[in-house]
Chains A and B, each alone.
Chain A
Amino acid sequence: MENKSKRYPPRWANRFLEWYCNPPLLDEIQGDAFELYYREAKMSKRKADLKFIWNVFRFLRWRNIRKQKPHYINYSTGMLQNIFKVAVRNFFRQPGHSLLNVMGLAVSFLAAFLIGLWVFHETSYDRFHYDPEKIFKVMSHVDGNGAIETYPAARANINLTTISDVTEKAVVISGTRWPNELCFRPDGKTNECIYLFGIFAEQPFFSIFNFPIIKGNKNPLANPTNIAISESMAVKLYGDTDPLGKTLKIDDHFPVTIASIFKDVPSNSSLQFEFVVPTQVFARMRGLSDDYFSKDFQTVYFKTSTDIMSEALTAKLNNPSILTEDLKKDKVSYSAFPFVNERLRGEFTNGKNSGGRIQYVNLFVLIAVLVVAMAVINFINLSTARASNRSKEIGIRKVIGAQRNGVVMQFVGESFLVVVIALVIASLSTQLLLPAFNSLIGETLSVTLLNPSILVWLGAFALVVALAAGLYPAWVMSAFQPAKVLKGNTVTASTGAQHLRKVLLVVQVSVSVGIIIFTGVLFEQLSFIREKNLGLDSQNILHIEPTYKIMQRYDALKAELLTHPQIKSVTATASDPVDLTVQTTGVSWPGMPEGMNAAFKILGANYEVGETFGLQLIDGRFMGAKPGDTLNTEVVVSESALIKMDLKDPIGTHIKIGDSHCVIIGIVKDFHTGSLKQEQLPTIIYAHPILQCSRLYVKYEAGTTQEAIATIQETYKRLEPAFTMKYDFVDEAFDTMYKTENTASSMLVFFTSIALLIAVIGVVGLATYNVLKRKKEIGLKRVFGATVWQILGNLSKEFVLLIAFAALLAIPVAWYGAGQWLSGFAYRINMPWWIFVVTLFGITIITVVLITLQGLKTIRTNPTETLRSE
């Protein structure tokens, strides 16, 4: 034969043949195929390749396929004992590494568990009702010249009987202030107030929603003088005595009979309340006739009996019999909102449902998956790196007769053991850390560990992770050939495996970098919100919910408060300036274009509002103690309102708000009247009689909070002895507007640290291993005179390059993701590029430091020790 250049047929085809072919037939079949190949390859290698592949597939006949012999891996108990012993010994041979492995997994499991609990809690909201998908809320959309505003309200007397799918409807009035938060006097104590939240609802409420009544009347709202209270409320007011049949006074005025007691509302309910009162009481408290009330806009829920979708319901709702002419004229339309979406998908932008909290849920699920994946990658990396340590053992096992599958099973079993240990550690830590986590995010998550279904889930989880993490290293290790290995040739991992390790490390680092950058941007945006000049002061202002009596004595209260040096100013308003929700389109001014429907936010206030909130006057003046104009209501307009109205000489101009005649006396600089996630609407402040104001604000000297509160409470008590003062802080209320974002950012910081930790573990593990393997090389270099730093540089260069590459991969992705999130804010920061740079540098420096720490010891060892040949 002439010299055969070692042409070889396509490896994969050959391997495929070897895999499926029945071993006794392999020689002849493969031999023939190879013979034909060599013959053909003399002329054209490509043709030969193609023919070879063709032949491999043509040989794929039933007769030639290997018969599956049962692969029983018979392990005697002695064998199992040995395997177990060996596993344990191996674990302790390199305790640092093994511990690193276990802790990496445990930490990632912990993160996954916590996130899992949170996600489970969030997605379980409102699902405890009967047929939750059949409950809907009516939303109103108002087209206000371009922007569509959405409100969770509809006409109270909305007539849904024309829609056959609807079984019942109920108006539910909830809120956070009067009249939903009321003073209740505990039994026997007439001067004490316990403030409790509740709702007003129409009779079908308890059949639409599943709030089980445990004692008393099953249909309490049928009687307009009944009240239903929760278990805890009963205890708070009556202790152990049975409250059924007793009388409570709503607002110290309207007597109601306790007709039923219901089970405490669970934490995963969007509707939270401690008592339910019929809507008729509400009407009377507000001094509205039943007729007037029925035309008022309130929150309306309804239940369907069929599986009709929300789109179809929306169409039906806009039928003229329901959406009356006058509403249509005001550019109002209705839509049906599924109640199950309330918690996670409750946001509306410009009239369209635009998700909401769900984006955070998705974000955190993603993070959980990433974190576990990273830990698994770490595990794989460390295991394959350590594979060569076990090579002699594997060689011996194979010689004695272990089948390849048996070896694979052994190592997968070891991985499973490690995973189970990590799982146990993670479960215990979850229990321990849960209270701290709860306070971090302000929730009440709980888990009962011994729940059988949870154990099943955990078991399945452990199996999946063990397989994912253990299979590849086991496969690599079981491939060691006894002949090579027992001769003492150190098995270096194939270049394929080494590349894989590098790829995995890059993936890990880029994920960590991405998460860090994203968290950084989040943080910046949130601080921006907090510190942004809102145009009004929110610090050091106390908000009091006054009683009618106090408002009658407003002047006396104010005079008395101002005698104290810590009190700076006092004012009263009808609505909350920081979170102003009152708006109207009924504003008209001279020169207003025909048919224009502009929305303005309006704030009714007492004259000191400018001073208390630090509003900046541009022109004119604020309202004075005595109105200068007795016929017209004095108003102060904001800059943007002025621009909207396009008035040349605003001061003194007469405008109309609804039916009231007003005169502009001043122009104020724009101030934020809501969350920075929304665009601002122009604002008008109008003079409002004190007795109609429901909010008191007291500004006090910074740093004197304690004394100020004491003083205010004392003064209040003197003027209003029957009621405990109800107050809160304006800046706290302001923060709650961003509760979702704040929770998300706390969680993000927490989980970012975990991700970072895992990435660090990965780098450390790999670096240590790398250094150890190159012991001899390092020793040699030292002999030839390399300095410690030169070697260090050499070692770290490879890693630093990898890390830098990973970071560069992560940057565009993080940029895009952060940009998307930021676009949800109407007022936002520019992308802080410095975060990207800092992260990049930080990661590089950390890596170098770690490698240095690990490498220094090995590098410093005396070369005579490392170069000793065994």
Chain B
Amino acid sequence: MKGNYLGELEELILLTVGILHPNAYGVAVMDELDVRAGRSLNISAVHSVLTRLEGKGFLKSKMSDPTEERGGRRKRIFLLTGAGKRALEEAQVLRTEMYNRIPRVALQVIGVGSK
């Protein structure tokens, strides 16, 4: 929690890595993000976020076996660390808590909630 605040994109990618477990790698994350959140990023952008998250300690990575479809090249598989899971939880809790504090009135104006 000390200064490790999670950006919006970073959070999304962390979530995606969780979803894709245990096959989360560059292209897969990019595709999932596109399908689920409608965000089409360039592959290199995805790579850089993944690397940054690993640097912050939220992810760890390992190399997979060479695969035929990639011409014998290996994939770098990302996995959530304990810190990563905690960060996600905390973020989720925070969101819910703050959402519940919004008065009915405000939500009505936005057009959410019961009539």
A residues contacting B by CB (< 8 A) are 1, 27-36, 38, 55, 58-59, 61, 63
Q: Which residues of A contact B73 (CB under 8 A)?
A: 27-28, 30-31, 34
Inter-subunit contact B71/A31 (CB<8 Å)? yes
Q: Known: A27-B63, A28-B76, A63-B48. Contact between A34 and B71, CB under 8 A?
A: yes
9 contacts across the A-B interface (CB closer than 8 A): A27-B74, A28-B47, A28-B63, A29-B47, A32-B25, A32-B47, A38-B69, A55-B43, A63-B51
Q: Map CB proximity to A onto B77-111 as digits: 1 under 8 Å, 0 otherwise.
A: 00000000000000000000000000000000000
Inter-subunit contact B48/A61 (CB<8 Å)? yes
**When chains A and B are docked, how far (Å) is the Cα of A605 from the Cα of B74?**
103
Q: Known: A27-B63, A28-B25. Contact between A34 and B70, CB under 8 A?
A: yes
Knowing that A29-B47, A55-B42, A61-B48 are A-B contacts, what are 17 other residue pairs whose CB atoms are under 8 Å apart, sorted by A's residue number? A1-B69, A27-B74, A28-B47, A28-B63, A28-B76, A30-B73, A31-B70, A31-B71, A31-B73, A32-B25, A32-B27, A32-B47, A34-B70, A34-B71, A35-B27, A38-B69, A63-B48
- Closest CB in chain B relative to A8 CB, distance in Å: 10
B residues contacting A by CB (< 8 A) are 25-27, 42-45, 47-48, 51, 63, 69-71, 73-76
Q: Which residues of A contact B63 (CB under 8 A)?
A: 27-28
Q: Which residues of B contact A36 (CB under 8 A)?
A: 27, 43
- Closest CB in chain A relative to B83 CB, distance in Å: 22
Please name the 4 residue pairs, one residue from A and one from B, whose CB atoms are nearest each other, closest first. Answer: A31-B73, A31-B70, A58-B44, A28-B76
Q: Which residues of B contact A30 (CB under 8 A)?
A: 73
Q: Which residues of A contact B75 (CB under 8 A)?
A: 27-28, 31
Taking a contact as CB atoms closer than 8 A, the residue among A1, A28, A38 that contacts B26 in the complex is A28
Q: Which residues of A contact B71 (CB under 8 A)?
A: 31, 34
**When chains A and B are docked, how far (Å) is the Cα of A58 from the Cα of B44?**
6
Complex: chain A residue closest to B61, CB-CB: A28
Inter-subunit contact A59/B44 (CB<8 Å)? yes
**When chains A and B are docked, how far (Å) is the Cα of A30 from the Cα of B47?**
12
- Closest CB in chain A relative to B6 CB, distance in Å: 21
Inter-subunit contact A28/B74 (CB<8 Å)? yes
- Closest CB in chain B relative to A22 CB, distance in Å: 12
Q: Known: A61-B48, A63-B48. Contact between A31 and B43, CB under 8 A?
A: no
Q: Which residues of A contact B27 (CB under 8 A)?
A: 32, 35-36
Q: Which residues of B contact A1 (CB under 8 A)?
A: 69
Q: Which residues of B contact A31 (CB under 8 A)?
A: 70-71, 73-75
Most buried by B among A1, A35, A38: A35
**When chains A and B are docked, how far (Å) is the Cα of A35 from the Cα of B76?**
13
- Closest CB in chain A relative to B32 CB, distance in Å: 14
Q: Which residues of B contact A34 (CB under 8 A)?
A: 70-71, 73
Q: Which residues of B contact A32 (CB under 8 A)?
A: 25-27, 43, 47
Most buried by B among A1, A32, A55: A32
Inter-subunit contact A55/B44 (CB<8 Å)? yes
**When chains A and B are docked, how far (Å) is the Cα of A30 from the Cα of B26?**
11
Complex: chain B residue closest to A38, CB-CB: B69
Q: Which residues of B contact A61 (CB under 8 A)?
A: 44, 48
Most buried by A among B27, B42, B44, B45: B44
**When chains A and B are docked, how far (Å) is the Cα of A29 from the Cα of B46?**
11
**When chains A and B are docked, how far (Å) is the Cα of A33 from the Cα of B71?**
11
Complex: chain B residue closest to A32, CB-CB: B26
**When chains A and B are docked, how far (Å) is the Cα of A32 from the Cα of B70?**
8
**When chains A and B are docked, how far (Å) is the Cα of A35 from the Cα of B73?**
10
- Closest CB in chain B relative to A27 CB, distance in Å: 5
**When chains A and B are docked, how far (Å) is the Cα of A38 from the Cα of B42?**
16
Inter-subunit contact A58/B26 (CB<8 Å)? no
Complex: chain B residue closest to A57, CB-CB: B44
**When chains A and B are docked, how far (Å) is the Cα of A30 from the Cα of B42?**
14
Q: Which residues of B contact A63 (CB under 8 A)?
A: 48, 51
**When chains A and B are docked, how far (Å) is the Cα of A496 from the Cα of B41?**
40
**When chains A and B are docked, how far (Å) is the Cα of A55 from the Cα of B48?**
13
Complex: chain B residue closest to A1, CB-CB: B69
- Closest CB in chain B relative to A29 CB, distance in Å: 7
Complex: chain B residue closest to A24, CB-CB: B63
**When chains A and B are docked, how far (Å) is the Cα of A32 from the Cα of B74?**
9
**When chains A and B are docked, how far (Å) is the Cα of A61 from the Cα of B52?**
13
**When chains A and B are docked, how far (Å) is the Cα of A63 from the Cα of B54?**
14
- Closest CB in chain A relative to B74 CB, distance in Å: 5
**When chains A and B are docked, how far (Å) is the Cα of A61 from the Cα of B69?**
26
**When chains A and B are docked, how far (Å) is the Cα of A86 from the Cα of B76?**
46
- Closest CB in chain B relative to A865 CB, distance in Å: 46
Complex: chain A residue closest to B67, CB-CB: A31
Q: Which residues of A contact B70 (CB under 8 A)?
A: 31, 34-35
Inter-subunit contact B51/A35 (CB<8 Å)? no
**When chains A and B are docked, how far (Å) is the Cα of A32 from the Cα of B47?**
10
Q: Which residues of A contact B48 (CB under 8 A)?
A: 61, 63
Most buried by B among A28, A30, A33, A36: A28
- Closest CB in chain B relative to A56 CB, distance in Å: 9
- Closest CB in chain B relative to A205 CB, distance in Å: 78
- Closest CB in chain B relative to A21 CB, distance in Å: 12
- Closest CB in chain B relative to A738 CB, distance in Å: 72
- Closest CB in chain A relative to B115 CB, distance in Å: 46
**When chains A and B are docked, how far (Å) is the Cα of A246 from the Cα of B75?**
103
Q: Which residues of B contact A59 (CB under 8 A)?
A: 44, 47
- Closest CB in chain B relative to A157 CB, distance in Å: 84
**When chains A and B are docked, how far (Å) is the Cα of A391 from the Cα of B69?**
35
- Closest CB in chain A relative to B84 CB, distance in Å: 19
**When chains A and B are docked, how far (Å) is the Cα of A36 from the Cα of B25?**
13
Complex: chain B residue closest to A55, CB-CB: B43
Complex: chain A residue closest to B45, CB-CB: A58
Q: Which residues of B contact A58 (CB under 8 A)?
A: 42-45
**When chains A and B are docked, how far (Å) is the Cα of A36 from the Cα of B26?**
10
**When chains A and B are docked, how far (Å) is the Cα of A675 from the Cα of B59?**
92
Inter-subunit contact B69/A35 (CB<8 Å)? yes
**When chains A and B are docked, how far (Å) is the Cα of A505 from the Cα of B25?**
53
**When chains A and B are docked, how far (Å) is the Cα of A55 from the Cα of B26?**
13
- Closest CB in chain B relative to A34 CB, distance in Å: 6
- Closest CB in chain B relative to A769 CB, distance in Å: 38
Q: Which residues of A contact B47 (CB under 8 A)?
A: 28-29, 32, 59
**When chains A and B are docked, how far (Å) is the Cα of A31 from the Cα of B42?**
15
Q: Which residues of A contact B26 (CB under 8 A)?
A: 28, 32
**When chains A and B are docked, how far (Å) is the Cα of A58 from the Cα of B27?**
15
**When chains A and B are docked, how far (Å) is the Cα of A58 from the Cα of B51?**
15
**When chains A and B are docked, how far (Å) is the Cα of A32 from the Cα of B64?**
13
**When chains A and B are docked, how far (Å) is the Cα of A324 from the Cα of B48?**
84
- Closest CB in chain A relative to B93 CB, distance in Å: 33
Q: Which residues of A contact B25 (CB under 8 A)?
A: 28, 32
- Closest CB in chain A relative to B69 CB, distance in Å: 7
**When chains A and B are docked, how far (Å) is the Cα of A27 from the Cα of B74?**
6
Q: Which residues of A contact B76 (CB under 8 A)?
A: 27-28
- Closest CB in chain A relative to B52 CB, distance in Å: 10
**When chains A and B are docked, how far (Å) is the Cα of A27 from the Cα of B71?**
10
**When chains A and B are docked, how far (Å) is the Cα of A36 from the Cα of B71?**
12
Q: Which residues of A contact B69 (CB under 8 A)?
A: 1, 35, 38
Q: Which residues of A contact B74 (CB under 8 A)?
A: 27-28, 31
**When chains A and B are docked, how far (Å) is the Cα of A475 from the Cα of B74?**
31
Q: Which residues of B contact A29 (CB under 8 A)?
A: 47
- Closest CB in chain B relative to A252 CB, distance in Å: 99
Q: Which residues of B contact A33 (CB under 8 A)?
A: 43
**When chains A and B are docked, how far (Å) is the Cα of A823 from the Cα of B23?**
80
- Closest CB in chain B relative to A42 CB, distance in Å: 13
Q: Which residues of A contact B45 (CB under 8 A)?
A: 58
Complex: chain B residue closest to A58, CB-CB: B44
Q: Which residues of B contact A35 (CB under 8 A)?
A: 27, 69-70
Complex: chain A residue closest to B63, CB-CB: A27
**When chains A and B are docked, how far (Å) is the Cα of A536 from the Cα of B2?**
110
Most buried by B among A27, A38, A55, A59: A27
- Closest CB in chain A relative to B68 CB, distance in Å: 8
Complex: chain A residue closest to B70, CB-CB: A31
- Closest CB in chain B relative to A572 CB, distance in Å: 97
